[in-house]
Homo-oligomer: A and B are copies of this chain.
Amino acid sequence: MFSPALEALVDALRCLPGVGPKSAQRMALHLLERDREGAQVLALALGEAAERVGRCQRCRNLTEAPVCAICEDPRREAAVLCVVETPADVLAIEQAGGYRGRYFVLMGHLSPIDGIGPEDIGLDRLQTLVQEQGVEEVILATNPTAEGEATAWYLTDLLAADGVRMSRIAHGVPLGGELEYVDGNTLMHAFSGRLPVSR
């Protein structure tokens, strides 16, 4: 390539998920030909975020404050806690709207094969939080994968001892989804999770 600085930029852009060599090149050229200001703004935002964003002391979500805005918000019900695997899950639920409780972010899931045990996903802190915050219901929203399910079961056992009401979010055919396009696992899950109807 014709410039070491450009080459370094193309290489660095490849740390972004879903960005291959071709799109890294397209991004770098776009910024240098047409949006130098955008490049400077992005450089600053990256530096600031990488340096300042840490984890909430209470829920482990990403935040630059000691305690995140959701945990600090007095309008969010402290008695309901939703357990998710990642900050992206929190965003998805917040963007869907409607949920008024708080969160606990595992930042992963139990995975004995990878050596990830209960403390690595903050379960000691979760148990303390449930007790201190007076949590009455825990909604398990870990992913419907083998690891996510195993984590949900582990949590059920762990927190049942504290007399907390436990629930698992429903899994099945997405609303508006056509049956023929839903994958087989989801479909079988929807069948085994069928609910009685009456009129």
Question: Which residues of A line the B interface, CB within 8 A?
Answer: 1-6, 8-9, 11-13, 15-18, 23, 25-33, 35-36, 38-50, 52-53, 61-65, 68-70, 86-88, 90-91, 94, 107
Distance between A13 CB and nearest chain B CB, rounded to angstroms:
7
A15 touching B2 in the complex, CB below 8 Å, given contacts A25-B88, A29-B87, A46-B42: no
Which one of B13, B46, B50 contacts A12 once the chains associate, using CB atoms below 8 Å?
B46
A18 touching B23 in the complex, CB below 8 Å, given contacts A3-B64, A43-B43, A86-B29: yes
12 additional contacts (CB under 8 A) given A16-B30, A43-B43? A2-B68, A2-B91, A3-B65, A6-B49, A16-B31, A18-B27, A28-B49, A29-B91, A32-B50, A33-B62, A39-B47, A42-B46
Judging by beta carbons under 8 Å apart, are B6 and A53 in contact?
Answer: yes
Q: How far is the CA of A98 from the CA of B40 in the complex (A)?
A: 36
Closest to A46 in B: B43
Judging by beta carbons under 8 Å apart, are B40 and A91 in contact?
Answer: no
Interfacial chain B residues near A5, Cβ < 8 Å: 45, 48-49, 52-53, 64
Most chain B CB within 10 A, of A2, A4, A12, A107, is at A2
Total identical chains: 2
A8 touching B40 in the complex, CB below 8 Å, given contacts A2-B63, A32-B53, A62-B29: no
Judging by beta carbons under 8 Å apart, are B46 and A31 in contact?
Answer: yes
Distance between A47 CB and nearest chain B CB, rounded to angstroms:
4
Q: How far is the CA of A70 from the CA of B3 in the complex (A)?
A: 10
Q: How far is the CA of A17 from the CA of B1 in the complex (A)?
A: 20
